[in-house]
Structures are given as structure tokens and as C-alpha cells.
Chains A and B, each alone.
Chain A
Amino acid sequence: MSETPLLEVKGLCKSFGGVQAVNGISFNLNKGDLLGIIGPNGSGKTTTVNLISGFVKASSGKVLFKGQDITSMAPYKIVRLGIARTFQMVKPFYQLPAFKNMIIPLYSPRVKALVGGKYGDRDAVALDLLEEVGFERDNQVAYKVASVLPQGYLKRLELAKAISLQPDIMILDELFSGLSLAEVASIVPIIEKLLLEGKTIIMIEHRLKELFRIANRVIVLNFGEKIADGAAKDVMESDEVKKAYLGSEE
């Protein structure tokens, strides 16, 4: 492809003390892609997205977003450029009602211009966004304090917070973990809708079956290195991937 990819990751490395968490990972991401990142526990998936989103500083390597070098930029600056993420461990503001949780991203300079300054407006926008991800209006769940919400709603809240930033790239870190099959089934259409809207998505996932239904490309990591990259079906055929997931046959 001749045009510059939306996101370019070039030889990204990160070591924590003696542990090489990420070792020379490179990939490109084009607009409209849904890239799945999979791999066994401790293979460097979350560290990779932490490096992209700026929460962890890279030891070496580069991350380019729309051709601009964003390696080790402050997380808030990366968000403002248009990369939003969710966390594997949900990070809501537990003391606030769900819809007030949404006010924080809506207050960010990236969104400020789009919504208008008055906070009355933000409440309405927050409720609309929450309804989109499945906070039903009639049961008032959006008004409940985050600390009493079940995991399924907290994950949706994370998703809604990322959506509210209107990012170009969304990074979803194990969005499906800890959810029931029914809950996953109700979130998948939301992600499909985002793709239709032209969003680019990176998903870290252990729920491979659900991921492979929507991902058009998958990267497999093991011990911090990329061991496979391609369509979901082809990747799972690879011997190296089988070995990483199932262990060596020796």
C-alpha cells in the first residue's frame, strides 16, 4: 500500500530489569483494521499497548501515528492526537455515578470543542453514549455509583469512555475477560458498529473464538516477540503458535 499506515510500530523494545518484556516488535496498522493481539500470559501484549499509549517508556524502537513520532510521548498527549485505550483492570472513578464517570473524558480538550462548554450538555452526551454501549435508560443504571456496578457494566463504561474521546484508533485491552458469553455477544455488535464508522481497533484478547469473528488480522506474541502475523485462520495453523499455546510436544 502506498499511503502511510495510520500506525507504524518499528522494532519496539522494553525491558524491566533483566526481563525483556517486548523484544523488537514491528507492525503496521491501516485505517479500518481490527487487529487482534494474542499470546500466552506474560507474552508482552499489555506492555506493547502500554508502549503505544505512552504509559510505559520504550527502551528502544519507534511508534509513528499518522507519520508523527509519538514514542514515549505523555499519555494525555497521545490521547489528544487520537489514540484511546481501555484498561484490562477496569479503572472507573468508583465514587462517581456511571454517567459522571463519562464527564472526565468529555472534559478533555479533544472533546471540548465538539460538545460545547456547558456541563449541562455534557451530562446529556454522557447518558447518550452510555445508552449506546448498553446502559438501558429505563433501569436507571447510568445513575448508579460505579462501585456497585457489576463487571459487565464496568467494562462497557470503559468502552464508552474510549468512544467518547472520538479517537482514530481504539485499543481495547482484554475487554471480554470476566464477561459471560451473553455479555460478550452483546458487546460484539458495538465493536462491529465502530468498525463500520471507520474506526481502527486493536484488541488484546484471550477469548479467541469471539475475537476471530471480528478481527481481520491477528498478531501472536510469545516471550515479547512477534511469532505470527496474518489472518486469524492462517495464524492458528502455524506450528510455532500451536507450540506457544499448547507447549512443545517434546
Chain B
Amino acid sequence: MEKRKERIDRGIKVRSEDIFALSSWREILYFAAPRVLPVAAFIILPLVLGDYWQRVLLSVAVFALLAISWDILAQSGMISLGQALFFGMGAYCSGTLNHYFGISPFLTIPIAAVVGGVICTLLLLPVLRLRGIYFSMVTLIIPLMLERVIEATKIFGGTEGISGLSVLPSKWLEMYILMAALIAALFGFRRMMTSDYGLVLTAIKDNDRSVMNAGINIYWFKIQALFIASAVGAFAGAMMTHVYRFVGMPVFALDYSILPIAAVMVGGPGSFAGAVLGSFILVPLSEALRTLGGLRIVFYGVFLVIFVVGLPEGIFHFIARKYSQFERWAEVDK
């Protein structure tokens, strides 16, 4: 007898999404837990971790923001291989504003997010009409090119970079600004993508000619998505500049481009939650593997391969499916 796997929505999912949610604590909890738990974790984690792991958590948040930024672009049909561009642009914007003009980090960070976003958008504007791999290649090249420009022209401190930048008044402020940004980005962008505006963005990825045929200027929408994504990345870069009190060529390094993509792949694309989850797994893992020395990259690579092969949908989608549906083997009617 042939069998196939059958997936059925759990009753509690159906009930809790309806008005009956009010009828029992269990149902309210079922509905609220996936939303409340991550927020609670973001708030509590900094309090319970030691100094070293607090630093790691900062890194996690920064990579999560970069991964979210990557996911925004991917959902709008733009595959970026150059998140480092956004990160580095934000970092250099806030670093130079702080170093040369003495502006406080409270201003340089938001300014860098916006100005960095605008500059990145303008830089990528000419290639916005390119599709697929062509767009990706350009995004990969630009940050590497900027690195060389800084090295050759020795602007903004050249290879030395700029150090001794101002810090935010307390490490708790640093931490909670990042956590707040992460929560806002996670839930805000999830909401945005389910709105009609987000629908247009996903439709561009699906079939851009058809969107054009609906009287919509797809390039204007792509520009908006690009600005939003690069502003998020630039914000992350600006924050890290003031945490490290340093900005230099490493901000354009390949790590900032590749790790966010790996995080989304492990966590699951198209949900933002996957991007965050992936960062929460990969960044600490990379730290934990530090003790292995040279073998670190090998283990890291093997881990990535296992995940991508074993769970191609991503951890988040796997958990979400298990949470809302149960599976059973059903006989196939012949």
C-alpha cells in the first residue's frame, strides 16, 4: 500500500486565529508565544550574559540586521552579495562625521543610516535594471572596490582607519538600542511585507513585466526597497563603529556580505524571523568554534552544508510548520 504524508492544520491554530482566542489561556498563549518569546529573549539575554557573550550578542544583532536587510532585497527580487557595502557605508558615514565634525553618536547614527542608505541607493541605481546574477556581481564588487579606493587614495585614514571615536554613554544603551532596532525591524518588516505595498515588492520578484503591466513603475519600487535595505545595513554599520570606536577598511570585508546570506539560508528566507534565527545560531557558533583554531572554518562549513542539505526550507519554516500543523501517513487512493 502506497502512503503519503498528510499535513493538517492544528485545531488550536484555527481557533486562536479566530475570535475564540479569547476563550482560553491556552489559545491566547499559542497565538502570543511566538511573538512574545523572542521579544522577551531580546530584553532578558543582555542581562544574563557575561561580558564576553554580551559582545557576541551585539555581533549577533548586527548580523541579524544585515540578514534582514538582505532578505528585504531578496524578497523584492534583488539578490545582493554585497551587504558589506551598506555596513561599510554606514560605518564610514558615522565615523567621519564623528571624527572630523565632532558630532555626537546620537546624531551620527541616524544620519549615517539615512545618508548611507541614500549613497548606497545612488551607487546601485545604474545597475537596478540588471537582473539576477548581473545585479549580484555588481553588489559584490562595489564594496571590494571601495576598499581599494580608500587604500589607494588614503582618504579617511587610509589603511590605518580612524580610531578613538566617541562611544555611546553606556554599554547598556548600546545593547538596548540594537535590541530595539532588531525588534522593530523584525516585526515592522514582517508587517510591511504582508501589506499591499509588500505584495507589490514580492510581485516584482515573481514577474516584473506583469507588475509593469499594472501601471506600476517597478524601478521606483526597487529604489525604495533598496533604500530601506541599505538604511538598515548602514544603521548596523554606524552602531558597530561607535561600539568599536574605530572605522577602517575591514568594514567592507567579505564577512559582512557572506555571513548574512548564510544566516538567512540556515534560518529560512522570506520571513525575517529566519534571518534573525540564523544569526542567533551562526554567530555564536562561529565564536564557540574559535577554540578549534584552524579547523574552525572546516567545522563551520560542514555545519552549513548539513543544514542547507538537511533543511533546505530553513529552521524557521520547519519550526513554524511543526507548530501549526501535524503530519500523518495517509494511504494513497488508487
Contacts and interface: CB of A to CB of B under 8 A. Distances in A.
A79 B214 contact: yes
Contacts of B196: 103, 106-107, 119, 122
A95 interface: yes
Interface stretch (A38-46, A86-94, A187-195, A205-213): A86-94
A31 interface: no
B215 A80 contact: yes
B210 interface: yes
A22 interface: no
A96 B206 contact: yes
B207 A91 contact: yes
B217 A74 contact: yes
A119 B197 CA distance: 9
Interface string B196-221: 11011011001101111111111000
Contact of B209 (A91, A108, A109): A91
Given A79-B213, A87-B213, A93-B207, A104 B218 contact: no
B224 interface: no
A76 B212 contact: yes
A104 B216 contact: yes
Given A103-B196, A104-B210, A119-B195, A93 B203 contact: yes
A105 interface: yes
Interface residues of B, number: 19
A158 to B, nearest CB: 9
A80 B213 CA distance: 10
B203 A104 contact: yes
A103 B214 CA distance: 10
Nearest to A95: B206
Contacts of A91: 207, 209-210, 213
A190 B206 CA distance: 28
Contacts of A95: 202, 206
A84 B212 CA distance: 11
9 contacts: A53-B213, A74-B212, A76-B212, A84-B215, A87-B210, A87-B213, A95-B202, A104-B216, A119-B196
Interface in B39-74: none
Given A96-B203, A103-B199, A104-B203, A55 B214 contact: no
Given A93-B203, A109-B215, 15 more contacts: A76-B213, A79-B213, A79-B214, A84-B215, A85-B213, A91-B210, A93-B206, A96-B206, A103-B196, A104-B203, A104-B216, A105-B215, A107-B200, A107-B214, A110-B215
Contacts of A87: 209-210, 213
A108 B215 contact: yes
Interface residues of A, number: 30
Nearest to A83: B215
B77 to A, nearest CB: 12
A126 to B, nearest CB: 10
Contacts of B195: 119
B215 A96 contact: no
A107 B215 CA distance: 9
B71 to A, nearest CB: 16
Contacts of B203: 93, 96, 104
Contacts, number: 79
Given A74-B217, A76-B218, A80-B215, A100 B199 contact: yes
A62 interface: no
A104 B211 contact: yes
Interface in B201-255: 202-203, 206-207, 209-218
Contacts of B216: 76, 104, 107-109
Contacts of A119: 195-196
A111 B214 CA distance: 10
B100 to A, nearest CB: 42
Contacts of A5: none
A75 interface: yes
B210 A92 contact: yes
Nearest to B220: A76
B217 A76 contact: yes
Contacts of A85: 213
Interface string A159-196: 00100010000000000000000000000000000000
A80, A93, A111 pick with most chain B CB within 10 angstroms: A93
A80 B216 CA distance: 8
A217 to B, nearest CB: 25
A53 B212 CA distance: 11
A104 B214 contact: yes
Contacts of A100: 199
A87 B216 CA distance: 16
B319 to A, nearest CB: 21
Contacts of B209: 55, 75, 87, 91
Nearest to B218: A76
Interface string B130-173: 00000000000000000000000000000000000000000000
A109 B202 CA distance: 18
Contact of B210 (A53, A93, A165): A93
Interface string A98-135: 00100111111111000000010010000000000000
Nearest to B210: A91
A99 to B, nearest CB: 11
Contacts of B211: 104
Nearest to B197: A107
Contacts of A93: 202-203, 206-207, 210
